Amino acid sequence: MQTTFNWFLKHLKQNVGFLLALLILFASRSSLADWYLVPTGSMQPTIVEGDRILVNKMAYNLEIPFTDIKLMELATPQRGDIVVFNSKAADNRLVKRVIGVPGDRVALLNNQLFINDEAIELETDATTGAMTEHLGHKSHKLQFIAVSQAMDNFAPVTVPAKHYLVMGDNRNNSADSRVIGFVPEEEIQGKAIKVLVSLDPEQYYLPRFARSFSPLI
């Protein structure tokens, strides 16, 4: 028994630097930044299947590593932000765009957003037909695909305190707040800021170099 313990101590001392580096790495991923593989197309065309996105976990809160205990609030999600959150309602980690913040009155009429009774500008490119939504000072592309039961309308709702209304950029093919309801503030893990690398699942996971290191906001 003593021999085994001595062997353990010896190897622990020899590898303390490596173990410390691992601890720092996992602590950083826990509270500073993380990366997330996107498996679905609910955020197309902004984020596509196979993108591995960089998430700034300090965008809104400073937390104790390896816990969800908040030490300090640094900011709050804004309209147009892309957030990653652990949804209890969906029992999954999701990535969506913030549409409504606490107190906002939001409605959708034939895929036209209204926030606080004002229509959000939706621009159509005359050449390509691509749609761009202008959400405050942030603009982003949208995708509309034909589906049998499009969720393209909902009556005005008011976003409650400490909750957010989120939607996917692939508007007719996204299980977002129209399905799971408002997202509680405490479920939000961070802000997606960049595509680190993109692998094409339909082309033997070959890299999409044009998407690598491209900003999302």
Domain holding 188: CATH number? 2.10.109.10
Q: Whole-angstrom Cα distance, residue 92 to residue 57? A: 18
Model confidence at 35, in pLDDT bands (50, 70, 90)? confident
Model confidence at 32, in pLDDT bands (50, 70, 90)? low
Q: Whole-angstrom Cα distance, residue 217 to residue 41? A: 18
Cβ distance 29 to 189 under 8 Å?
no
Same domain, 182 and 88: yes
Same domain, 155 and 198: yes
Look at the block and give the residue holding tokens 């390509």.
128
Same domain, 9 and 80: no
Look at the block and give the residue holding tokens 């093919």.
173
Same domain, 27 and 99: no
Q: Whole-angstrom Cα distance, residue 53 to residue 22? A: 21
The structure's pTM equals 0.84
Same domain, 165 and 179: yes
Same domain, 115 and 205: yes
Which residues, other chains included, contact 41 with Cβ-Cβ below 8 Å and sequence gap of 6+?
Answer: 48, 49, 170, 173
Same domain, 70 and 149: yes
Q: Which domain holds residue 140?
A: 32-215
Same domain, 17 and 46: no
Q: In 3D, which of 60, 92, 91 has the Cα closest to residue 78?
A: 60
Active site residues: 42, 96
Total count of domains within the chain: 2
pLDDT at residue 211 greater than cutoff 70: yes
Same domain, 13 and 76: no
Where is pLDDT greater, at 25 or 132? 132
Same domain, 23 and 56: no
Same domain, 63 and 135: yes
Same domain, 10 and 44: no
Model confidence at 67, in pLDDT bands (50, 70, 90)? low
Cβ distance 112 to 171 under 8 Å?
no
